[in-house]
Amino acid sequence: MASNKRIEVHKTEDALIKRLCEYIENISKKAIEERSAFTIGVSGGSLIGALAKGLPGVKTEWSKWKIYFCDERIVPFDDTESTYGAYKKALDGVVPIKDDQYRKIDPKLSAEEAAKDYIGKLKADFGNVQLPRFDLLLLGMGPDGHTCSLFPGHPLLQETSVWVAPITDSPKPPPSRVTLTFPVINNAATSIFTIWGAGKADMIKRVLADKEDLPVNQVSPKNGLVHWLLDDAAATKLNGL
């Protein structure tokens, strides 16, 4: 059976961001042509700065974008830990995305209530389907191999049906968060990890060469593709894989 995983290595961080943005442009174009909307899930952390650099060069119908959060921290929007807050700060005035195009998690609720509330928001957009199917998820990888707020050894890795789950014991602060679960992640049409820098080279080897049982390796779309976009520095320990 053909693998659903594609690995690409690019010389520099800038080349990597350019490639990521080519994917975003092409995937958004196709989705907008087919359904007049583009549904994208975004992660937090280092990805935000990369998107702030690359997105201004993307040719797309920005008004057709609906932006969801792969995970979010339960903190006020003006807290530096808020992923939505960080996107607003990084992208406002940089790309013409209006505030109502972001599907936000409600940080005034408890993690449990915020997860239920977010499921309601997804149902309002995707309808009463068994699982939502995002056009694109932009995923990150933490130094411990976590993605979204799905951490190594956590019981949430076993979730099989709930779309969005609360977590109140995140090993990475802040502890209270909500996250998409693997059934939803693996129902996306395309997922892209964009990883750069020597600091992630060891973990990239463990994930892509040694194929360790880590959360990022649970990303395996049922009917879609997962791309791993790396720069030379992150790929140094792959030995040309």
Ligand X SMILES: O=C1O[C@H](COP(=O)(O)O)[C@@H](O)[C@H](O)[C@H]1O
- Count Cβ neighbours within 10 Å for each residue of 172-206 and write b for 16 or more, e otherwise: eeeebbbbbbbbbbbbbbbbbbbbbeeebbebbbb
Q: Which stretch binds ligand X (CB under 6 A): 18-26, 95-103, 141-149, 228-236?
A: 141-149
- Count Cβ neighbours within 10 Å for each residue of 133-143 and write b for 16 or more, e otherwise: bbbbbbbbbbe
Nearer to ligand X, 71 or 159 (CB): 71
Least distance in angstroms from the C-beta of 33 to ligand X: 29
Nearer to ligand X, 120 or 173 (CB): 173
Nearer to ligand X, 66 or 73 (CB): 73
What whole-number distance in Å separates Cα of residue 182 and Cα of residue 92?
30
Q: Which stretch binds ligand X (CB under 6 A): 28-36, 59-67, 142-150, 223-231?
A: 142-150
List, in sequence order, every residue forming a beta bridge with 190; answer none if it has no partner.
225
- For residue 239, the tally of other CB atoms under 10 A from its CB is 8
User: How many residues make contact with ligand X (CB under 6 A)?
Assistant: 12
Least distance in angstroms from the C-beta of 11 to ligand X: 20
53 counts as binding ligand X under rule CB under 6 A = no
85 counts as binding ligand X under rule CB under 6 A = no
- For residue 2, the tally of other CB atoms under 10 A from its CB is 4
Least distance in angstroms from the C-beta of 139 to ligand X: 6
Residue type, 110: S
Contact positions toward ligand X, by CB under 6 A?
43-47, 70-71, 140, 142, 148-149, 172
